[in-house]
Amino acid sequence: MLVEERRQKLRSLVSTHGFASLQDLARAIDVSESTIRRDLEHLHQMGYLRRTHGGAIWNQDGAPLPPLEERTGRQLEEKIQIGELAATLIREGDTVLLDGGTTTLEVASNILASGRRVQVVTNSLPIAQMFAANPASDLVVLGGYVYPRTGVALGSNTIRMVEDLHADVAILSVSGITSEGLFNSNLLLVETERAMMRRAERVVVVADHTKLGRRALTWLCGLDDIDDLVVDDRMTDLERKWLEVAGVRLHVAARRGGYST
């Protein structure tokens, strides 16, 4: 099969299912996973789909997504590591509130790949698309105003839906973390995330090391308002110290697949 013919078939498979795993694509086309990985990377760069750990998500417009897509490649290795580790905190049968963002997208990808039967509640259109065809998961999509730069539903309608729910775990992403607390870049997003936190038994925040020591537009909550923080191992000793002093339960995703807590 010619390269372009193979890539066209990949585009067709991913667009049909919304999300397709690396293994399924390799079996369907009868080539190695390394070949599929290279083809997906090419199609990702061309804007046809979004490469995730373990597979790919279709970009419905066939053109690059707005800033969410632009941010995906930043700290990609760290986000993959964080996604793998954070997904292990989810148990069979959990109801999981998943916020939007590039790091939570990696968490979602790993939950999906794990095969655990969970109930997913999300305000993220990319995450909803990922789980829509998955028979192992129940999916609840939160409605409301969809912020065009991220594909995330926000605002009063979304909050009203969240307030009628109960979740075992909420997994949130943030734009900044300091000793003062957690920050995000959008007021509507912060209000929605606060509602998610109120309705969850356990709050898990996922963030790569570039968010540490950094503020954003809007204060979300104090460090004592979250239960777990999943980060990569590129934080400084000082950053680790003030997180530990604050009493945050740290889960550190190390390079080469090693994890520490």
What are the pLDDT digits (tens) for 80-124? 899 999 999 999 999 999 999 889 999 999 999 898 999 999 999
Domain boundary among 64, 91, 109: 64
C-beta of residue 95 within 8 angstroms of C-beta of residue 118: yes
CATH code assigned at 28: 1.10.10.10
169/60 same-domain check: no
33/154 same-domain check: no
pLDDT of residue 261: 58
pLDDT of residue 121: 97
CATH code assigned at 192: 3.40.50.1360
pLDDT of residue 77: 84
Q: Which single residue is written with the structure tokens 């920050």? A: 183
48/119 same-domain check: no
Cα→Cα distances 83→107, 164, 173, 221, Å? 4, 28, 11, 22
pLDDT of residue 155: 86
79/170 same-domain check: yes
Question: Structural domain of residue 216, as residue ranges?
Answer: 69-260
Domain boundary among 12, 46, 64: 64
**pLDDT tens, the chain, 261 aa long:** 678 788 888 888 887 777 788 888 998 898 999 999 888 888 876 667 778 777 888 765 444 434 444 444 456 788 989 999 999 999 999 999 999 988 999 999 999 989 899 999 999 998 998 898 888 889 999 998 887 667 899 888 999 999 999 999 999 999 999 999 999 988 888 999 999 999 999 999 999 999 999 988 889 999 999 999 999 999 999 999 999 898 899 999 987 555 565
pLDDT of residue 15: 76
50/171 same-domain check: no
19/123 same-domain check: no
pLDDT of residue 66: 42
pLDDT of residue 206: 97
Q: Which two three-digit tokens encode residue 45?
A: 């760069």
59/75 same-domain check: no
Q: Could you give the maximum distance between any two Cα atoms of the chain, in Å? A: 58
pLDDT of residue 52: 77
- Give long-range contacts, CB 8 A cutoff, 24+ apart: 58-67: 58/14, 58/15, 58/17, 58/18, 58/19, 58/129, 60/15, 65/126, 65/151, 66/148, 66/149, 66/150, 67/149, 67/150
This prediction has a pTM of: 0.72
Q: Which of 128, 125, 199 has the alpha carbon at shortest distance from 161? A: 199
pLDDT of residue 187: 81
